[in-house]
Structure 1
Amino acid sequence: MKYAYYPGCSGHGTSVEYEVSTRAVCNALNMDLVEIEDWNCCGSTPAHSVSHELSGALAARNLMQAAKTGADCVISPCPSCSSNLKMARYRMQNPAFKAGVDELLDAPTPANAEGGADLMETYSVLQAIVEHVGVENVASRVTYPLEGLKVVTYYGCLLSRPAQVAKFDDPENPVSLDNIMKALGAEVLPFALKTECCGAAMGIPDVNIPGSLSGRILDTARAVGAEAVITACPLCHMNLDLRQRQAARISKKDFFGLPVFYYTQMIALAFGLPEKVMRLDKLAVNPYPLLDKIAGRRKARVSAELDAMKAAGAAS
C-alpha cells in the first residue's frame, strides 16, 4: 500500500527519535510513505477545546492535501494527530458540520453521495503495521530477539478511543502493542494502567497533574517488575521519560529509573537496524545499561546453544 504520511509537529522537534525510527521501521516493512506536502498542524489538543469546526478545518485541510499524493490512505505516528484526523473525517459525514468547516477553508471539501465530506481514511502507524503488515510479518523480520526483557505497554488515552472513531483494538484493554512486543521476543507483563491518562498537556498550567498521574503509572510499572515502558505517543513519552524525576518528586517516590521507549525503537533494535535510526541518545532516562543486559542475555543464550551443539557432536 502507498501511505500519505503525516508526521505531525512533534515529529520534527521534540520526538525526532520517534520520527526517524518510524520511517526506518516502515521502510524495513516495505511500507511506501509519501509525506504530505505543505501539511499544517492538525489542531491536536488545543483546537477542539476552542472550536470543533476550527479543529475540523485544520485536519480536513491535511486530508485534502493527502489526496493529492495518490495514496491509499493517511497514516500518522502520533495518536493525537491520527485521532484528530479520524475525528474530522467522522464529524464531517454530517452535512451541517461539513458546511461549517468549509466556511473556514480556501476551498470546500469534496462531497460524498450523502452530503458529507469525501475524505481519505486515516490510520495510526501502529494500526497500519498491525492490520496491513501483520504481527507475524514483524516477527519474521526479527534478527535480534529481545529475549528476557520484561516490559509494560502503555497506550495512553487516544490510540483506541473513542471506539466508534478509532476503530482499532479494544478501547479498555488494547493488545496491539503487547502483540508487537511479544513478536520481538520480549515478555509483556500484565499492566492495569495501560490506558490511564498520564496528564497529557496539563503540565503547562500545572506540573503537579502529570507529575502525580505519571508517577502512579511508573510506580505501578516498577511494582509489577517491568524493566522498561513501551509507548506510542510523543506526549505520553515526554511525561514518562523527560519528566520522570519530576514525577518521582511530586509523587514522593524514589527515582524510578525506568527507560521509556517508543515501540518503533524496539522494533528497530530487534530488526538489527543501525543505532542512528533509533536515536537512543534522545532518551532522558539512560537506556544503555538495560540494552547491555539484553545483549548479555543474548550472548549467553548463543553460547549455551553452541555448547549444546558441541556436546551433541561429541556424543555422536
Structure 2
Amino acid sequence: MRQFLDFEKPVAELENKIAELRQMADGDGINIDEEVQRLSEKADKQLRAAYGKLTPWQKVQVARHAQRPHALAYFERLLTDFTPLAGDRLGAEDQAIIGGLGRFRGRAVVAIGTERGHDLESRLVHNFGSPRPEGYRKAQRLVQLAGRFGLPILTFIDTSGAWPGIDAEQRGQAEAIARSIDLCLSAPVPIVASVIGEGGSGGAIALGAGDRVLMLEHAIYSVISPEAAASILWRDAKQANLAAESLKFTAQDLLSLKLIDRIVPEPIGGAQRLPFDAVDALGEAIAEELEPLCALDSATLRTLRREKFLSMGRDSLN
C-alpha cells in the first residue's frame, strides 16, 4: 500500500476515490472509464504541481520516505553476479553498510552502500542505516580490495548519520569515518558516489569522497540533520522546517555551490512512486560518469580528485 506524505493528501484523496470507483464497478458492468480518466488526470496534475515546488523540509520528508528504493534495491537491479562480502576482518560485522563484488553493465566493480531496511525487522538488522565503526572498517577493506585489483567503486549513500552510541565512540567511530574518507581520496581507481536518499553528517561523507558525486533530485546531503540544527540554534527540534531552509542541503543548492556534480531526475512523485524508473535513471547517470573516469590512470585520478575537494568553497571566498 502506498504511503502518502502530508503535502500529498489531495492526491491521496483522489487516488482513494479512483480505487473506490473501481471497487464499486467490479462485477456490476458499470462503465467508469471516463470518470477514472478525469480523476487520474486531476491527480497527476496535482502531483506535478506539488513536486514542482517542494520546500526544503518537504524534500527531507521525500528523502526519508520509507518506500524509496534503498541500497539493496540498487544492487539487485543494477548489478549482476553480485557477491556480498561481510566483516571488517578486525572484530565484527555491521550490516548498516553492505558491499561486495559484482558487474555493472559487464564491468567488474566494487559496490558499497548504506542500507536502512524496508520494514521493522530489516531496519533492526541494518540498524536503521546508521553504521558503527565496524561498518566503516568493512568499507575500508572493500576500498582497498578495489584498489588492489583495479576495480571501480560505486557507493550508494542513504543514512541519517553514523551510530551515535557510546559503544561506537569507544570503538573509534571518528577515526573509522576519517580513515574511510582518507582511503576514498587516495584510492587508485575511479569512484562514483550517489546520494540516493538522506546523506547525513560524516556517516555519509565517509562514502562520498568520489571523483563524481551524484544526487537524486529529491535527496538531501548535509553535515547535520535539520532537527539537530534546530535543537542547537533554536533549542527546539520542532523548528526543523526553519533549519531546513537555512542548511542549503538540497541537490539543487549543492549543485549551485559546486559540491556535487550532477542531479539525477526522479519520477514525478519521487523515487518511491516508481522505484524501478528511479534506479534505472541513476544507473544511466553512473554509466555516463564512470566511462571517462575508467580511461584515466591512477595518478591522474588522484590528482583530479584532490583538486576537486580542495577547490570546494574557494569561489565563495574570492
Q: What is the TM-score when the length of structure 1 is the normalising length?
A: 0.32
Q: What is the TM-score when the length of structure 2 is the normalising length?
A: 0.32
